[in-house]
Amino acid sequence: MTASKHVVVVESPAKAKTINRYLGSDFDVVASYGHVRDLPAKDGSVDPAQDFSMVWQVDGRGEKRLKDIAARVRGADTLYLATDPDREGEAISWHIAEELKRRRVLKDVKIQRVVFNEITKKAVQAAFENPRDLDHHLVDAYLARRALDYLVGFTLSPVLWRKLPGSRSAGRVQSVALRLISEREAEIEVFRAQEYWSLAASLKSAEGETFKARLTHLDGQKLDRLDIANKVAADAALAVLRAAPTVEVTTLEQKQVRRHPQPPFTTSTLQQEASRKLGLSASNTMRIAQKLYEGITLDGETVGLITYMRTDGVQLSGDAIAAARSVVAADFGDAYLPSSPRVYKTKAKNAQEAHEAIRPTDLRRNSKFLSRYLDRDELRLYDLIWKRTLASQMESARLNQTAVDLAVPGGRALLRANGTVVQFDGFLKLYEEGRDDAQDDEGSARLPALAQGETCQMVEAEAEQHFTQPPPRYSEASLIKKLEELGIGRPSTYTSILQVLQDRNYVRLEKRRFLPEDRGRLVTAFLSSFFKRYVEYDFTANLENQLDDISGGRIDWKAVLREFWEAFDTAIGGTKDLKISDVIDALDEDLGPHFFPIDAESPDRDPRLCPSCNEGRLGLRLGKTGGFIGCSKYPDCRYTRPLAVPGSESENGNGDATGQPRTLGEDPNSGLPVSLRQGPFGLYVQLGEGGKAEKPKRSSLPKGMDVNALDLEKALALLSLPREIGKHPEDGEMVTAGLGRFGPYIKHGPRFVSLPVGDDILSVGLNRAVTILAEAPQKGKSAAGPLKTLGTHPDGGEVTLHSGRYGPYVKHGKVNATLPRGEDKDTVTLDRAIELVAKQAAKKPSKSAPAKSKAAKAKTTKAKSTKARPKKG
C-alpha cells in the first residue's frame, strides 16, 4: 500500500527547510516565496461598475512557483497551506488555492490551513494536529484593503499628475502620514521662541546636607513656566531669595508609588524601542526579526528564536508565562517574582489580537548563550525582546516620592523640592522603556531627611535663562506611535508607509527625523484643499475599524467598498473642471500663513511684499520640479525663494527650489545673460542660453556659499575659474584656484589640494595658497611626523607611534603595524610595539625565499592546463 502524500506550502525557503525536518517523510514542504499573484498595475484591475470585480495576474516568478507547487500537488491526498499567521498570510494561502483550482490540479485533494506562532517542533506539530479551513473573513478584509488602496492610488494619482505638476502619486494611508509630518513642520516654522527664566536655590538642611529647590510662588502668586519673562523680572525675584538667610519647611508630603512593567512587545512597540535604544529603522527591525523568527540551527535542529513578529497582541501563552516566572526566580530570586502571573490584554480589536506578543520561543536561551550564533544587530534585537518579555513578569518597582515646600521669611516666596528614592528596583533591575524625546527629570534627585518646621540655610540662589522649544520633528518611533494612537495603519503596514514616503521623495530623514520635501507639502496642501475628507485622521481610522469588522465577520466587505466609492467618485468628478490656477490659488491660501508670517517687529509691513521690486506680491508658484515662491510681477521681476519660511531651519540657504533660472545680469564682455539655475546636483551659474551646437559655460556654487549674497560680480568670478593666483616663490610655477568634482582646490604643478573649509575660492591669495600647499600631505608621504618615539628596536632603528587613515599604528623601518581595535595609543609601550611589528612582519612573504623562474611558472601553468583538458575519445 502506497503511503499518503501531503504537500505543505510555506512562504520562505528557510522555513520550508526547517519544517521539513519536523514532519515525517509523507510530507513534501515547498515555498511560495510570498505572493504568487497581484493586481496588475494598470487601470481597470478593480472595477466598481462590476461590483468591484478584481483581475489578478501571475508574474514570471509566481508562475514558476505555482508550476512547482502544482506538480507536487498532483496525486497528493492533502494540501496544507502553512503561510504566516496573519491577514496577509491568509491571503497568500487563498491566492494559491484559487490559482490551483483554476488550473484543475486539486481534484480529490483536501485543502487544510495550518498556523503556528513560532517555528519550533512542538508548535508546528501541534498546528498540523489541529488544521482548519481558510478563514474567508480574513480574506475578505484583505480584498477590501487591497481594493481600497488600489482605487485611491489609481484614481487619485492621475488627478495629482494633471493638477499638481511635480507630484508623484497618492496613497490612502501614506497621505495621512505625510499630513502628520507636514503639519508638524508647519508648527515648527511658525514657532517663535519665547524667553523665560527659572530660579533655584541651593539649601542646606539642619544636618548639613545640601539640596536644591525651585521657585514656585512669588508674592502670593503661583508661577507658571513663562511668568518670569525677562532678566529684569528674574533679578527682582532673585533679590527676594538672596535677601533671605534661611527658609522654613512648611509642608512635607511623602508617598510610596508602584511602577509596573510594560507588556511584552507588539510590532509597533518593538519598532519604537528598537529605534530609540538600538538606532534601527523600522525596516531593519522587521528584517532582523524575520531572521530571528525563521531561526538558526542548534544541536543539529533548526529552531525559531522568537514568535511571529507581526502582531497587535500583548498576551502570552500559559507556557510562556510559566517559563518567564521560572527564569525570574532562578536569575533574580523570589523577591522579584510577583505572587501571581501578570496577564496583559490588548485593546486593539483587529484580526491580529488573537496572536501572542513577540517573545523568545525559549526564555532559557539568553543573549550570552546566543552570542556565538547571531551577528551584532540580531543579538541586540533578541536581547531587547528577551529582556522586555522577562521584565513583563517581574515585580513592580517601589518608589518613595517626597515633595517639600519651603517659605522665605515673610512669605514673599515659596520654593519646592522634589525627590524620588527607589526603595525596590523590581523590573527596573532588568529593563526600562526608552523615551522618544527629552523629558523633564525633575524629581529624580534624592532629598535629605527633613521635618516640618525645620529651618534650612540659604546657600545660594541662581536664575537661569531659557527659551521655549518648537515641537520636535517625528522620528520613526514617534511617528509609528502617533499613527498607532490615531488608529491608522496596522503592524504589517508601518514599515511600507515610511518607506513609500521616502521613495516618492515626499519626505527625507535627517538625523533620524522626518522632514517634508516641498513636493510632499504641496501634495498635503492639495489633498487637504480638494480631498479633505480622505486625509482626515478620524475618517482613515474609521475605515481601518471597518476593515477589522470585515475580518471579524461583522460587516460585508463590498458594502464598505460601495459606501466609500460613491463619495470618493463624486469627489474625483468635482476636480474635472479644476484649473491649475485654481489649484495655485487654493494652495497659496492654505500655505500662506506659514510661508508669509507677520513679522512681530514690523507688524505693519506686508509679509507678501516682494523685497526685490517692492511692488509685486509674493505667492506660490508651480514649476516642473515642484513649488516655489515668486513675485507676481514676473517676468519683469524674477525674484524667487524656496518654499519655506524666511530664516527658518527648513529654508535651504543654498538657493531656491524653483527649477527656473534667475537672471543676475549681463556679462559686459559678451553681452550674454548670466543666470542662477537649479540642476540635479545643485545650484550653478550659467553664461548665455546655449544651443544644440554649443554648450554654455557653467560653474557650480561652492558648498556653503550664501545664494542670497550672490550677485553678477561673484557669478562672473565663478565662471572665470580656474584663476591664476600667482607664481610659487620656490620654483616660479603658477598656482591656480579652481572648482572640481570634489569642490574647490588649489593647483601647483601636478598637485591638487582641496581648499580648506572657511577659505574663499574667489579671494584666496598667494601667501595663503602657499601655506595650504605646504601643510597638505603629499602623495606617498606622511602628513605629519610620528606622534612619539617609543624607543630603539633590538635590531636597531627607532620604533615610532603614528596616527594614520585607518587609526593609530606603530612603525619600525618599512613595517607598519596597526593597533588592534580598542587598544589605547597612549598606553602602548616599546615591548608591545615590538610585538605588533614582529607579527606584521611575519605575515609578509620572506624575501629570502627563491622566486620561481619564468620558465618554472610557465611549466606549472602548462601542466595545470593539460590536466584540466578532457581527453579526446
Report the alpha-carbon distance of residue 386 to residue 394 in Å, rounded.
Answer: 13
End-to-end CA distance of the chain: 48
Cβ-count burial of 165 within 10 angstroms (0-12 exposed, 13-18 middle, 19+ buried)? middle
Query: Can you tell me the distance from the alpha carbon of 564 to that of 148, in angstroms, rounded to the nearest whole number?
Result: 8
State how far the Cα of 475 lies from the Cα of 501, in Å rounded to an integer: 14
What cell does 537 get? 485622521
Q: Give SS3 for 174.
A: helix
Give how far the C-alpha of residue 371 lies from the chain's centroid of Cα atoms, to the nearest Å: 26
Contact call for residues 282 and 452 (beta carbons, < 8 A): no
Catalytic residue among 308, 336, 684, 745: 308
Q: Cell digits for 351?
A: 484580526
∠ CA 543-546-547, nearest 5°, is 90
Q: What is the DSSP letter of 515?
A: E
Closest of 661, 664, 683, 660 to residue 672, by C-alpha: 664
**Grid cell listed for 12:** 520562505
Among 258, 671, 577, 202, CA closest to 417: 202
Beta bridge partners of 248: 407, 455
**Active site annotation includes 634:** no
Q: Tell me which amino acid residue 255 is.
A: K
* CA gap 599, 579 in Å, rounded: 33
What angle do helix axes 376-391 and 282-294 make, rounded to 10 degrees? 80
Q: Among 772, 771, 709, which Cα is nearest to 744's?
A: 772
Return the residue matching grid coordinates 570634489.
Answer: 742
Nearest-angstrom CA–CA distance, 100 and 81: 12
Phi, psi values for residue 417, rounded to 5° = -120, 130
Question: What is d(CA 218, CA 600) in angstroms, rounded to the nearest whole number?
Answer: 30
CB within 8 Å of 37: residues ≥ 6 apart: 56, 57, 58, 59, 62, 95, 99
The DSSP 8-state label assigned to residue 609 in this structure reads B
Nearest-angstrom CA–CA distance, 22 and 720: 74
Give 455's contacts (C-beta < 8 A, 6+ positions apart): 206, 246, 247, 248, 249
In whole angstroms, give the CA distance from residue 85 to residue 180. Answer: 31
Q: Which helix (H) or strand (E) holds 662?
A: strand 662-666
Q: What is the 3-state secondary structure (H, E, C) of 259-292?
A: ECCCCCECHHHHHHHHHHHHCCCHHHHHHHHHHH
* Nearest of 734, 226, 202 to residue 448 by alpha carbon: 202
Contact (Cβ atoms closer than 8 angstroms) between residue 683 and residue 654: yes
DSSP β-bridge partners for residue 80: 8, 112
Residue 612's nearest CA partner among 590, 639, 635 is: 639
For residues 200 and 211, give the distance between their C-alpha atoms in angstroms, rounded to a whole number: 10
* Gap between the Cα atoms of 726 and 737, Å rounded: 10
Query: Which positions are catalytic?
Result: 308
